Amino acid sequence: MYKNQILYIFGPGRKSKIDENSVKASEFFYGFNFFKKKYTTEILEVNKDHSNKEGLRKFIHIYDRIIVKLTNFPSYSVELISKKNMKLLKSSKKIVYTSDALFLSLLPVLFLNKVLKRRNENFVITMGLFGKQSTNFLKSIFNLIYQKIFLYSADKFIFLGYGEYQFVKNKFSKYESKFEYLPFCVDTKFWSKSKNEKKEGVLFIGNDGKRDYNFLIKLSQHLPELNFTVITNQKLNFNTSNVRYIKGNWSDQLISDESLRDIYSKSKLTIIPIKNSYQPSGQSVALQSLSCNTPILITKTNGFFGDEDFIKEYKINFVQSNLVTEWENELNKILNNYQKVQLDSKSFNNFIDNFDVAKFNLELEKILFGS
């Protein structure tokens, strides 16, 4: 009945990277290369062509705008809903949505499929979906209705962050059987293949909306004696000589994984100042940095991705808020007692084994097909 055992739904650009094998670290493919060797597997990818909004498709675009206006959730249905894609969905048994925004963008179709008792199984990789809240009373009502719809429509929500997973288990206990916690993993075998370089300076990497870029600028200006390397696609104005700015964006591969690995390895510390939310912001950067045996300093938020064992085992350093003086104090403590925050060989080897994509792939397979 089903042509494909697994259908992966990706944002734009993933398919060409997979076909061309142009990305060395494989974590952002969420197990696709592993599964395609064992199962009939296909890709459905976002199409950002503006012609998608012409003709009758204008009504789908209007639907997207209504959802965004009435709720706190994104919707890009016009970029995913097409006759070709609907056939692909229908012919696939298990569907893996590599972000919650992709799942929400197909929600009208998925909800209808559930009502009609069609047998597709929907697995949603979740990063901050349930933390979206509103102080507007009317919007909060629509948020609640919308949450009920997507909770009904998915078979499993796979949480990459421990903070959000705990929050959702408590708030939506009725649906607990649909919730799975699967720690995100990186290609530790790739990232750990770095030379044992002399470490110096502080590194910042990131592009998502939860990074606190304004604070980063203030921090670099407040600490002129400290050298910063900043890799981002954001347009930031530092006006200070102690910042080395490198334009970087994973989607466009503006900097190679090998070059990024070298920068991690040469840096003494990776800093991750973020705004409070249930999104596990900074997760991939933190894990990549630890794979290069470079410690991290990160803002403590509701959505921090690791549990207490992770924090203790891998010496995670926190700052409670994004105040310059607090960060300055923590930076001085770390840089003046650096050996205390670096992982010893046992902890480092444990990390390389426990947070490699190979483990993620096997755990995801259990979720999709049962243990």
| pLDDT one-digit tens code per residue, 226-244 | 999 999 999 999 989 999 9
Q: What is the mean pLDDT of residues 100-111?
A: 96
| pLDDT band at 41; cut points 50, 70, 90 | very high
Q: What is the mean pLDDT of residues 302-331?
A: 95
In this prediction, residue 371 carries a pLDDT of: 66
Q: What is the mean pLDDT of residues 12-37?
A: 90
Instruction: Give the whole-angstrom CA distance, residue 335 versus residue 136.
Output: 44
Distances (CA, A) of 326 to 120, 318, 320: 50, 10, 8
Q: What is the mean pLDDT of residues 39-68?
A: 87
Identity of residue 160: L
Angle between helices 137-153 and 57-70 (to 10 degrees): 120
DSSP 8-state class, residue 88: H
In this prediction, residue 3 carries a pLDDT of: 84
State the chain's mean pLDDT as an integer: 93
Sheet holding 317-319, edge to edge: 243-247, 228-232, 202-205, 269-272, 296-299, 317-319
DSSP 8-state class, residue 13: T
- Answer yes or no: are the C-beta atoms of 227 and 207 closer than 8 Å: no
Residue 52: is its pLDDT beyond 80?
no
User: Beta-strand (E) ranges in 67-215?
Assistant: 92-97, 121-126, 156-159, 179-181, 202-205
In this prediction, residue 20 carries a pLDDT of: 82
Which H or E element spans position 216?
A: helix 213-222
Q: How many other β-carbons are positioned within 10 Å of the β-carbon of residue 224? A: 11
| pLDDT band at 345; cut points 50, 70, 90 | very high
In this prediction, residue 121 carries a pLDDT of: 96
Q: Which residues sit opposite 126 in a β-bridge?
A: 159
Angle between helices 324-336 and 213-222 (to 10 degrees): 60
Identity of residue 232: T
In this prediction, residue 51 carries a pLDDT of: 61
Q: Taking the complete model, does pTM exceed 0.85, yes or no?
A: yes
Radius of gyration of the chain (CA): 21
In this prediction, residue 202 carries a pLDDT of: 97
Of the CA atoms within 13 Å of residue 191, those in its CB half-sphere come to: 29
Residue 1: is its pLDDT beyond 70?
no
Residue 358: is its pLDDT beyond 90?
yes
In this prediction, residue 252 carries a pLDDT of: 77
Domains contained in the chain, CATH given: 4-185+356-369 (3.40.50), 188-354 (3.40.50.2000)
In this prediction, residue 226 carries a pLDDT of: 96
